[in-house]
Structure 1
């Protein structure tokens, strides 16, 4: 089994390397940036890629999309500092099989890797509980498009609809119409409810500006 580790911190890569050595691994590759991740992926052709969502020089979600575009069958486990249902939903929408928070017990990452080898999805227990709570309370963020997830994060950062439209370079009416669809999907009636939901589910950083 070959594993690729993409993380911009050497100490984290070393920790993951030591952890996955408990598995029947034949080769471990490493990359520290978006610019080196695709080259390392193409060279190693790993069975599973462990990908940090928060890279210094770019978005892990963007790297995820690039790897999946290069190989639609790529098995990717996102390793994130956030127990965040919006990030988890975004990663799953972009094709990640696993999502594990760095605050989760280390054995959960091993489980996610083993599940990925079987082409089975896995989300760490804390994030999964948050997702289940969200789904039980109202519509699920899993129903949102990538652009809607991005807008949700921007609302959570305190941006108004006007500021979001300006930041994304689109008409206010486009954002207003999108927010209406988001409210329908999430089961809320007012924009203030949508903002409150965004704050409750916010992981602390904005998603990259990929389109749906």
Structure 2
């Protein structure tokens, strides 16, 4: 039996995912979580075979959970889900160690397929994602974004959502100096000089939703 941890801040989404997964005889949802903090505690407690996490959640997001889990266990299998199919977002997740990426517009049976496939050691992309995006040449802006670490992407996301550096430090359990240093590195790597430019770039690459800005 493949043991799964579900992470999404919407209970209805978690319930839907759970029903879809448990239609497959080989999959059991052993725990659910609504935040990164809850999810990490559940991961440590239940040691799931596969963790399925939404990318966008209040506070710290799924990419930060991916970073924390992979730091704890480099062999952990984490599937990322998102309402967006941005190649930049998919690449960031895969380069950060995600075992696969499933969009919320994908056919329902893709979720169980993803769990079964990543258990074999293969990566999985949902049917509505172009398999070529793993090898296609990225545009100049995407190349810049690809330089960022998962932690830098999470700090960028929080800043673009309007959080102050101090709030980012509190949410990520970092010192203010560390966040400030990362903020400087992010701007240098992305080649932007203003907060507005950071927000616009985050919107273009679906690091945040336009509705949040």
Give the TM-score normalised by structure 1: 0.69
Distance in structure 1 (CA, Å) of the matches to 2:143 and 2:110: 23
Number of equivalences:
178
Alpha carbons 2:8, 2:34 under 8 Å: kept? yes
Q: Separation in 1 of the partners of 2:183 and 2:190?
A: 16
Distance 2:63 2:131 in 1: 22
Which residue pairs with 1:184 in the alignment?
none
Alignment of 1:1-212 (within 5 A): 1-23=2-24, 24-128=26-130, 131=133, 135=136, 141=143, 144-146=146-148, 150=153, 169-170=183-184, 175=188, 178-179=189-190, 202-203=205-206, 205=208
* Residues 145 and 190, structure 2, Cα contact 8 Å, conserved in 1: no
Question: How far apart, in 2, do the equivalents of 1:10 and 1:171 lie?
Answer: 36
What is the rounded CA distance, in whole Å, between the counterparts of 2:28 and 2:79 in structure 1? 18
| Cα distance in structure 2, aligned partners of 1:127 and 1:203 | 15
Displacement of 1:58 after TM fit? 1.4
Deviations, residues 155-207 of structure 1 (Å, cap 9, x unaligned):
xx8xxxxxxxx9964289x72xx357xxxxxxxxxxxxxx9xx699622618x
Contact 2:7 2:33 in 1 (8 A): yes
Measure, in 1, the Cα distance between the counterparts of 2:182 and 2:43.
31
Question: Secondary structure at 2:184's aligned position in 1?
Answer: coil
Note closer, same or farther for the CA distance 1:70–1:121 as it changes in structure 2 (3 Å cut). Answer: same
Residue 70 of structure 1 deviates from its aligned partner by 1.3
In structure 2, the gaps of 5 or more residues are 161-179, 192-197
Q: 1:17 to 1:82 in 2, by over 3 A?
A: same
3-state SS, counterpart of residue 128 of structure 2 = helix
1:55 CA drift (Å): 1.0
Contact 2:6–2:29 (CA<8 Å) still a contact in 1?
no
The structure having more radius of gyration, on CA atoms, is 1
Residue segments in structure 1 that go unaligned for 5+ positions in a row? 158-165, 181-194, 207-212
Secondary structure of the equivalent of 1:127?
coil
Other structure's SS at 2:109 match? helix
After TM superposition, which residue ranges in structure 1, 4 or more long, deviate above 4 angstroms? 136-143, 147-150, 166-169, 198-201
